[in-house]
Structure 1
């Protein structure tokens, strides 16, 4: 399993180009290597997680193609994770390789699927919509996927998800845009694993925020607490690669500072273009 991070920021990117806070200034001074686009991940060359407005820039920055993507997982309907015009890049009028373009299976909640199917960018000839259900394992294009309910604020009646992926004896838990997941859900997750995770990407949006008034993301301290809980349940162990991911600009300093903090706990820090082979 090969995982590449095409973006690692929250909704506003990092730095926020309309912001002049200390962290935005420091990241700007650090240079483009520290810049973060909105979050998305490609797994191998055929699976993509989330489809935000920076997907083209993220693929260009990482120098990868998305031509072979056959499976798209969308965590929820927020615009940094679902940008409907992206589907237009796959349409016949904008794609010189349309005849060879693989059909795309989209696994997401019913709210997201409804938004896609009613969009002018929806191409029923090249798009298969699959509704995700809590803890219902499905195999899509050779990858086993388990949707786990996320703790996040979304549209009324919408169920956001994080995803467990299993393929070729390897496992990857993508847990971004969620607050700390309750213990019962983590125990449910453990049932789908044969052993500890190979990789876990954990939401780290709120960073060093001092006063937590938004319980739908993790602070840096909550990332540590979540990791301890996952270790106790047996979801991770010393062999697991845990990666802090999805950073908002105002509570998160440049990459080097984040690495210094999280490294003390054995946690890596995602950056745009980070490639992980397991």
Structure 2
């Protein structure tokens, strides 16, 4: 499994920004640079295909030719590049495998209408070899060998009230992918209690550290996480058995708000918690 991108909506460095974090990313490069968030489970399965998917494929030597399943958390353009189906069409129209793209609840209604009304492209041609699939929050589906359950996130768009955060289980493994979530809903905490999740991936959009402590800047409960809310969430999950000391916890969807990757890593390494947290970076394989 691989983090193709770990940035928030603007990426790091933001092309229009000269803040210290963005200037540091330009100067240092490497792990300080973040493209928009995307996570590759395997050659055949992906979560989110956002604004930077072309650059991610080139920079990381990744091919999407064998993709069969793409789970979409929500329709904001840093998570869904609306043009990717056209770009697949021009080279993969004759592909034997069907590409299944999954949207949850109202997101499916919006995206289906959008693609069927795309200017200049007949719907049958545009969706050749593609199946748009509707999921519902709280229901469990067999997708790509995983049991996948979309749970509601506290984040919405103009077209959907709640994002889909994905609880995934396969052969004794468990993974939770929570972008963009905000502080978890009570129903989500209840669904995760006692699950002892093995790999836990969560957004930390505003990873702000001030005077050696995580600073809460988000109006509780927020539509995005800051570092303080991440720790509040993880503490509650640890108490309920949702995560354990052995859980592999990763922060992603990180914006260039006042904290560099190196500073975040230093803070997390010194954190006195019963669980360990890793700041993900583009290209990290787990």
Deviation at 1:156, TM superposition (A): 5.2
CA RMSD of aligned residues (A): 1.9
Contact map agreement 1:8 1:272 (CA 8 A) in 2:
yes
1:85 positional shift: 0.3
Residue 45 (structure 1) aligns with = 43
2:246 corresponds in structure 1 to 239
2:155·2:161 contact (CA, 8 Å) conserved in 1? Answer: no
> Among residues 62, 66, 72, which one is paired with 1:64 in the alignment?
62
Q: Distance in 2 between matches of 1:157 and 1:87?
A: 21
Structure 1 length-normalised TM: 0.89
Partner of 1:88: 86
Residue 245 of structure 1 and its aligned partner are, at CA, apart by 0.8
Instruction: Tell me which of 98, 105, 118 is aligned to 2:100.
Output: 105
2:28 pairs, out of 21, 27, 30, with 30
Deviates more, 1:126-135 or 1:3-12: 126-135
Give the whole-Å Cα distance in 2 for the aligned partners of 1:189 and 1:99: 41
Q: What is the correspondence of 1:1-278 to structure 2 with a 5 Å cutoff? A: 3-91=1-89, 94-95=90-91, 97-117=92-112, 118-119=114-115, 120=118, 123-155=126-158, 157-190=160-193, 193=195, 196-208=196-208, 211-213=217-219, 215-251=222-258, 253-265=259-271, 266-276=276-286
Does the Cα contact within 8 Å between 2:199 and 2:249 map onto a contact in 1? Answer: yes
Alpha-carbon spacing, 1:101–1:58, altered in 2? closer, same or farther (3 Å):
farther
How has the CA–CA distance of structure 1 residues 254 and 157 changed in structure 2, closer, same or farther, with 3 Å as cutoff?
closer
Across the two proteins, how many residue pairs are aligned to each other?
Answer: 267
How far the C-alpha of 1:213 sits from its partner, in A, is 4.0
2:234 & 2:105 partners in 1: Cα distance?
Answer: 30
The alpha carbon displacement at 1:30 in A equals: 1.6
Give the TM-score normalised by the residue count of structure 2: 0.87
How much has 1:270 moved relative to structure 2? 0.6
The change in CA–CA distance for 1:211 and 1:255 in structure 2 (over 3 A counts) is: closer
Structure 1 residues 258 and 213: CA distance shift in structure 2, 3 A: same
Asked if 1 retains the 8 angstrom alpha-carbon contact of 2:153 and 2:185, the reply is no
Unaligned 5+ runs, structure 1: none
Superposed CA offset, 1:117-157 (max 9, x none): 33237643312222221210111232210001001132255
Further displaced range: 170-179 or 104-113: 104-113
